[in-house]
Structure 1
Amino acid sequence: MRRFLFLILSSLPLVAFSADNFTILEEKQSPLSRVGIIFALPEVTPVSFDGNCPIPWFSHSKKTLEGQRIYYSGDSFGKYFVVSALWPNKVSSAVVACNMILKHRVDLILIIGSCYSRSQDSRFGSVLVSQGYINYDADVRPFFERFEIPDIKKSVFATSEVHREAILRGGEEFISTHKQEIEELLKTHGYLKSITKTEHTLMEGLVATGESFAMSRNYFLSLQKLYPEIHGFDSVSGAVSQVCYEYSIPCLGVNILLPHPLESRSNEDWKHLQSEASKIYMDTLLKSVLKELCSSH
């Protein structure tokens, strides 16, 4: 009987799984060890290789020029991080996300960026933790379903629910600690009256990516009727989430609700607010979020 079983087993093909396949499976099931961080915030993109790392407490990191973009990498919170900052646009964000996944082999990508909203319920300074992204450039019905990407039959790209709870805890800590600081910043730049108390808070919802939302308030509100979960729009996150979906890498998004340039008193006012807000969010918000994420996963 033993000889019979041996003959059967020895006759089976020896191509079921290679060592690489087992390595991939092992990595997917293991805790986070390598995290990619994409900053999609105006005013923080390094203008030259001689520039400083945008994260003050990550200044010890290694700086490399990969392609035409600068990356910072190193260990912190017991994990390996690779960081890149870019001016918000879809192509740049997709290039950076691919490089982080294919070269740096990250287990997760975290997007931190400014986010705009046309909703009356939104408040400047709020932190929006994304449940997912809708990428929408054009309405080509009846040829394709609205919002759907035809070749993959998908419209909403969800963020990682497993890791989102940690991000929410970090966001809550940040809001409770720095609420007054953000209120003063909004008052200084004229986005909040001096006698008004801020109502910004922590939110969850979908983010829409597409230039059309920036130009028309009615267009955004009509989209929100179809998806009430949408709380903001940006120019980057949808592209990153699609790259992550393509390679089965979880992604997370932390978005800061700020005024759109078209709704600001002047270009200079908007630049100053973006610059000051970016310093707060990149330093303390990121630290709060990563502390919770790394301790939990």
Structure 2
Amino acid sequence: MLNNAIERQTIGILIPMEEEIELLLSLVEIKSEIKIASRTFFNAQFAGKNVVLVKSGIGKVASSFTASLLIHKFGVKSILVTGIAGGIADHVKVGDIAIAIDAVQHDMDCRPLFPQFEVPFTNKSFFKSDPNLTSKLESAAKQFVDTEFDNEVSLETMQQLGIELPKIYLGRLASGDQFIGTFNQWEKIRADVMDTLFVEMEGAAVAQVCHDSGIPWCSIRTISDKSNAMAHVDFNLFLHKAAKIYTAGIVKKFIELL
């Protein structure tokens, strides 16, 4: 552990990209910044709670390495993964909010040695999120939608992005080292990984690290695109117009509930 102050940190907040974390950093009281392996870890306080925030970078390697540092260098007792994601289920729309009840790596395939999606030598394919943290995430998202969304996201932005008042869904998260942006990719995940709600590139890797370390985890994402041929356009537009508003609004409500 780095020092006694950091050992008292209770939750790590892992966010892949700068655009997703920048507004949140302006809302917390930053006590110190520590640089390790090209990452800056922000030792901070918000609503009387101790947190460590970090931009992990994109992908399973970047996020799992960052999660390991949060646990073993900073002593966090739980990890929240947040940011934006692609929708897979038909009913999920751009602007909706997705919360993971479990996570799987959709590109994990060691057949015939192990079943598809199973992490070798773990006897596990699906890593469940912590029910208590997940319940708090759902409450935080509802509070954000009910009390802040209309004030924080302008009508112009909503029209430009084609979004309405967000709906909140709980379901399966599928992660892999691919940007899902074609019909064939979307169709394959739907066919291979039953009941997938949303897809991104970090959460299931963090879930495995947390499982191995005995640390609870949770994940909430805002749907930026539908994982189709327009995904690259919708993703970039949402990233720059709305991602930071959702992330900051929901995470601050979540921390208050801890």
Give TM class, smaller chain.
Answer: 0.7 to 0.9
- Which runs of no fewer than 5 residues in structure 2 stay unpaired? 1-6
CA–CA separation in structure 1 for the residues paired with 2:214 and 2:250: 26
Higher Rg of the two aligned structures: 1
Amino acid at match of 1:277: A
CA–CA separation in structure 2 for the residues paired with 1:214 and 1:141: 23
**Residue 131 (structure 2) pairs with residue 166 (structure 1):** no
Give runs of aligned pairs for residues 128-167 of structure 1, distance below 5 A: 128-167=98-137
Which of 160, 164, 169 aligns to 1:188? It is 160
Which of 15, 20, 27 aligns to 1:39? It is 15
CA apart distance, 1:97: 0.5
Partner-residue secondary structure (3-state), 1:105: coil
> Contact 1:125–1:182 (CA<8 Å) still a contact in 2?
no
Structure 1 residues 218 and 262 mapped into 2: Cα distance closer, same or farther (>3 Å)?
closer
- Please name the residue that 1:237 is paired with: 203
- Please name the residue that 2:245 is paired with: 280
Structure 1 residues 81 and 145 mapped into 2: Cα distance closer, same or farther (>3 Å)?
same
CA–CA separation in structure 2 for the residues paired with 1:86 and 1:54: 15
CA–CA separation in structure 1 for the residues paired with 2:174 and 2:235: 22
Render the CA deviation track for 1:126-145: whole Å, top value 9, x for unaligned.
Answer: 11111011012254433321
Which of 219, 222, 225 aligns to 1:253? It is 219
| Percentage of matched positions with identical amino acids | 20
CA–CA separation in structure 1 for the residues paired with 2:187 and 2:229: 16
> Contact 1:88–1:235 (CA<8 Å) still a contact in 2?
yes
**Residue 175 (structure 2) pairs with residue 209 (structure 1):** yes
Aligned length: 250
TM-score in terms of structure 1 length = 0.74
CA–CA separation in structure 1 for the residues paired with 2:225 and 2:175: 16
- Please name the residue that 1:86 is paired with: 56
- Please name the residue that 1:102 is paired with: 72
Render the CA deviation track for 1:194-232: whole Å, top value 9, x for unaligned.
Answer: xxxx26301100110114571543444454356543101
- Structure ranking higher in strand proportion: 2
Render the CA deviation track for 1:134-174: whole Å, top value 9, x for unaligned.
Answer: 01225443332121112111100111012221111111111
- Please name the residue that 2:4 is paired with: none
Q: CA RMSD in A?
A: 2.8
- Which runs of no fewer than 5 residues in structure 1 stay unpaired? 1-26, 46-51, 193-197
Partner-residue secondary structure (3-state), 2:173: strand
Amino acid at match of 2:87: S
> Contact 1:53–1:59 (CA<8 Å) still a contact in 2?
no
